[in-house]
């Protein structure tokens, strides 16, 4: 039931690794990158709570509850992935990013709720860890695709007349195909359990029809959030500021600091883009391995302690990039980032799922995404100004700031209450 995440991460990995590269190739200035990236978190802010709310209230005898959203999202995301590398102007790339990220979110949010639906509290940490494994595997392959096309298949990695390099285009074509097929695997081979009381489910759904009621329910959930969710919100805020900073500014940082180029039309800059793909593949691969180790560590210690340590390791790893001038040495901090990434994708959701009512699992996990996208929106608005006015356009300093935010997120984990863990221990 988690295999679809292999395809979903193809979409996210190609997006995260190549969007800054695509924007820069099409003429974007370095201090405008974070603003242009706002398309991604804003779509998540709008889409995920709505999709979560709707999937909680969906049931079809054949398609089930979550799988219709898996399928629809995969079709739209695959189309967007074929369009993205064919963008001929910056505005078009930004528009397609909106479409692609919205479609990925349609697929992704119900996958989180799927684990909560199918597994009891004692299994949920393992369930989210399995999703993390497939996310890591998908991220590795997708991030390496431009390098594979360049180094092994002889495909041109240089922009021609300002167009996106062929290596990036072909990577997105493969990504779109894998996305659709992997999600289709889950849609066709997984099963969903019908609501335990179908009559009550249908009666509640019939009584709560209408867009006005839906909006009221979605917004009203803010005032009914479980205490654990509120405590995790601060941890998530600083965590995702760090991740956003890394995704946006790693390519220009590596290009200028290691490949000695700030010209996006140059072969050196595009080579830096390929190397960032290798770096991101490294953290994805490490996260896939760590996904199996973290649940065991959590049983021996606690989920909070594991998340704290992983975030601190990831934060100091990001900070260390400023001192590295050798491209191969850049892989070392990605090991630390991969450890943090595995925990980011596992522990907060495992802690939260046990504190949520079963009949609103999709909605609350969608609402929880607010604390993933809001920090990215804040970062998108302010990081460009900070880069220009305080860091003299030295993008590696934004990575250092992101690392400091991740360390702070780790410290804030100490204030999260995880009552379900005590129940599991008994």
Tens of pLDDT along 369-407? 889 889 999 999 999 999 999 999 999 999 999 999 999
Instruction: Please give the structure tokens belonging to residue 108.
Output: 């992704």
- Dump pLDDT digits (tens) for 18-33: 999 999 999 999 999 9
Q: 378: Cβ–Cβ under 8 A, 6 or more apart, which residues? A: 241
Please state the pTM of the whole predicted model: 0.85
User: Tokens 């193809």 appear where?
Assistant: 10
The residue-averaged pLDDT of 349-361 equals 79
Q: What whole-number percentage of the chain has pLDDT above 90?
A: 65
Place of tokens 């129940």: 423
For tokens 């991969």, name the residue. 338
pLDDT at 166: 96
Residues 6+ apart with CB under 8 A from 356: 116, 226, 229, 364, 365
Please tell me which of 112-126, 145-159, 190-204 the model is most confident about, judged by mean pLDDT: 145-159
Q: Is the model more confident about 85 or about 51?
A: 85
Condensed to tens digits (0 to 9), the pLDDT of residues 288-303 reads 999 989 999 999 999 9
Place of tokens 């495909």: 155
Alpha helix stretches (DSSP H) within 258-330: 267-300, 303-320
CA 23, 110, 375: angle at the middle one, nearest 5? 45
- Which alpha helices (H) appear in 190-266, and where do they start and end? 198-207, 211-220, 227-257
Q: How confident is the model at residue 100 (pLDDT cuts 50, 70, 90)?
A: very high
At residue 85 the predicted structure's pLDDT band, cuts being 50, 70 and 90, is very high
DSSP labels for 46-94? HHHHHHHHHHHT--BTTTBSSHHHHHHHHHHHHHHHHHGGG--SHHHHH
Closest CA to 348 of 334, 364, 333: 364
| Residue 111 pLDDT greater than 90, yes or no | no
Q: How far is CA 250 from the centre of its chain?
A: 16
Mean pLDDT of 102-111: 86
Which residues does 407 contact at the CB level (< 8 Å), separation at least 6?
A: 311, 312, 315, 316
* DSSP-based three-state secondary structure for 259: coil
SS (H, E, C) 104-157: HHHHHHHHHHHHHHHCCHHHHHHHHHHHHHHHHHHHHHHHHHHHHHHHCCCCCC
Contact assessment for residue 423 and residue 120, using Cβ atoms and an 8 Å cutoff: no
> Residue 221: its pLDDT value, please?
67
The yes-or-no verdict on residue 53 having pLDDT over 70 is yes
**CA-CA distances (angstroms) from residue 163 to 13, 26, 157, 322?**
21, 7, 11, 31
Residue 43 has pLDDT above 90, yes or no: no
- Average pLDDT of the residues of the chain: 89
* pLDDT given at position 210: 59
Dist. CA 19–CA 154, nearest whole Å:
22
CA distance to 146, 160, 268, 273, 276, per residue, from 155 (Å): 9, 13, 16, 15, 18
Q: b/e per residue, 297-308, with b = 16+ CB within 10 A?
A: bbeeebbbebbb
DSSP state of 223: G
Q: Report the C-alpha gap between 227 and 389 in whole angstroms.
A: 38
pLDDT tens per residue, range 406-423:
999 999 999 998 865 544
pLDDT digits (tens, 9 = 90+) for 112-127: 788 778 888 788 878 8
Q: What confidence score (pLDDT) does residue 17 get?
A: 94
pLDDT of amino acid 357: 75
Do the beta carbons of residue 241 and residue 379 sit within 8 Å?
Answer: yes
Largest CA distance in the chain: 66
């Amino acid at each position: 039931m988690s295999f679809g995440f292999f395809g979903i991460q193809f979409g996210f990995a190609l997006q995260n690794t190549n969007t800054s590269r695509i924007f820069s190739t099409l003429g974007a200035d370095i201090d405008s990158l974070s603003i242009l990236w706002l398309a991604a978190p804003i779509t998540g802010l709008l889409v995920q709570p709505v999709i979560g709310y709707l999937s909680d209230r969906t049931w079809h005898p054949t398609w089930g509850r979550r799988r219709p959203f898996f399928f629809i999202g995969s079709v739209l995301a695959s189309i967007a992935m074929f369009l993205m590398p064919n963008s001929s102007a910056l505005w078009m790339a930004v528009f397609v990013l909106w479409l692609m990220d919205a479609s990925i979110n349609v697929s992704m949010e119900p996958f989180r709720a799927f684990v909560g639906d199918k597994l009891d509290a004692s299994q949920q940490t393992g369930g989210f860890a399995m999703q993390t494994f497939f996310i890591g595997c998908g991220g590795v392959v997708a991030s390496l695709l431009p390098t594979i096309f360049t180094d092994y298949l002889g495909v041109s990695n240089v922009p021609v007349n300002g167009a996106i390099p062929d290596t990036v285009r072909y990577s997105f074509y493969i990504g779109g195909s894998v996305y659709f097929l992997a999600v289709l695997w889950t849609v066709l081979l997984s099963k969903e359990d019908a609501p335990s009381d179908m009559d009550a489910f249908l009666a509640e759904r019939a009584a709560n029809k209408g867009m006005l009621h839906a909006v009221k329910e979605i917004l009203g959930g803010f005032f009914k959030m479980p205490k654990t969710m509120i405590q995790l919100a601060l941890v998530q805020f600083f965590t995702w500021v760090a991740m956003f900073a890394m995704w946006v500014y790693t390519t220009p940082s590596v290009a200028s600091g290691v490949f000695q180029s700030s010209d996006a039309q140059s072969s050196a800059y595009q080579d830096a883009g390929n190397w960032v793909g290798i770096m991101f593949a490294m953290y994805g691969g490490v996260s896939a391995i760590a996904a199996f180790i973290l649940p065991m560590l959590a049983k021996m210690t606690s989920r909070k302690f594991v998340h704290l340590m992983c975030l601190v390791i990831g934060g100091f790893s990001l900070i260390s990039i400023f001192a590295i001038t050798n491209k191969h040495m850049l892989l070392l901090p990605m090991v630390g980032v991969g450890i943090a990434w595995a925990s980011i994708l596992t522990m907060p959701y495992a802690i939260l799922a046990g504190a949520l009512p079963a009949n609103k699992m999709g909605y609350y996990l969608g609402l929880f995404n607010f604390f993933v996208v809001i920090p990215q929106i804040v970062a998108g608005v302010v990081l460009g100004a900070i880069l220009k006015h305080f860091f003299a356009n030295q993008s590696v300093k934004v990575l250092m700031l992101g690392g400091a935010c991740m360390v702070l997120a780790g410290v804030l984990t100490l204030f999260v209450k995880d009552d379900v863990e005590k129940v599991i221990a008994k």
